[in-house]
Amino acid sequence: MTSIFRMLFAIPRAIVRLVWRLFWGIVKTAIVLGVILFAINFYAEHSNSALAQSIFQIRETVSNFFSSTSASELKQTLSHLSTDDFVTYDGARWTHPKATVYIASTDATLVAAYQEALANWNATGSFTFTQVTNKSDAQIILADESDSSSQAAGLAELKTNSLTNHITHVDVKLNRYYLLDNDFGYTYERIVNTAEHELGHAIGLFHDDNEDSVMQSSGSYYGIQQVDIAAVNKLYQEN
Ligand SMILES: [Zn+2]
């Protein structure tokens, strides 16, 4: 019996010893590496030789890679992931395919993008946006915000009449934090696409990730496509 117990204890003891040795091995290696790197660094900073210069340059490159470069690359990645937030209801639409709009944004780029997006939707003939000069007369308000806590480049919030499921008011916001910071890589064209996407929600459209569509949930790589016009026509065909 005792020999079985001894064997049972011997196994975990051997494992603990192995882990302990491994741990000290890593610590010793780290200390030796640290001393070597410190010595090289000291040499690079206190010598004018060509070798010291090139070590110094390598060190700069490495530290740059881990600081600024990776931060802006992370931002680039984020801009591709960036999607938008929208609140809507299944089958919600305006009574007729038309609505009044007020541009509340004061940023020149975003105002221009909104104007272009409105003109592009109007050109399709599927829905008519009419700009008004009085905010209180507008059914759709096009604004902006700077929100770093959100992953969204844009936002559309719809209010509907619960009896008819008809849209009564929409608030659209473009997120300056992503769209206007060069590090996120949004071209003007993608800003217009984002505005067209949010207006698509304001019309009553949902996301469409199955084809090339302005309503793709992320990326904003497409403007209004034939499938989007067809989707609006379908939504408003029954009166
Ligand atoms: Zn969306």
Q: How far is CA 231 from CA 91, 206, 217, in A?
A: 12, 9, 16
**Where on the phi/psi map is residue 82: left (φ > 0), alpha (ψ -120 to 50), or beta?**
beta
Chain CA centroid to CA 144, Å:
16
Distance CA 60, CA 64 (A): 6
CA of 218 relative to ligand 1 center, distance in Å:
8
Q: Of 194, 209, 198, nearest to 87 (Cα)? A: 198
Q: How far apart are CA 134 and CA 85, in angstroms?
A: 27
Per-residue pLDDT of 197-208, as tens digits, reads: 999 999 999 999
Query: How many angstroms does the Cα of residue 90 sit away from the middle of ligand 1?
Result: 14
| Contact between residue 92 and residue 158 where contact means Cβ atoms under 8 Å apart | yes
| C-alpha 143 to ligand 1 mean position (Å) | 16
Question: Ligand 1 centre and the CA of 184: distance in Å?
Answer: 18
- What is the spatial distance between Cα 192 and Cα 121, in angstroms, rounded to a whole number? 11
Q: Does 78 score more than 70 pLDDT?
A: no
Between the CA of 198 and the centroid of ligand 1 the distance, in Å, is 6
Per-residue model confidence as pLDDT tens digits over 147-167: 998 889 999 999 999 899 999
* pLDDT at residue 70, rounded to an integer: 46
22 band by pLDDT with thresholds 50, 70 and 90: confident
pLDDT at 94: 97
Residues whose Cβ atom is located within 5 A of ion ligand 1: 84, 86
Q: What is the pLDDT of residue 66?
A: 47
Upper half-sphere CA count for residue 113 (Cβ side, 13 Å): 32
Cβ neighbours of 7 (radius 10 Å): 9
* Structural contact between residues 194 and 220, judged by C-beta atoms closer than 8 angstroms: yes
Nearest-angstrom CA–CA distance, 220 and 213: 9
**Size (the chain), residues:** 239
Residue 194's CB is within 10 A of a number of other CB atoms, namely 26
Mean of the per-residue pLDDT values for the chain? 84
CA of 201 from ligand 1 middle (Å) equals 7
Q: For position 142, what pLDDT does the model report?
A: 98
Amino acid code (one letter) for 139? Q
Ligand 1 centroid – CA 230 distance (Å)? 18
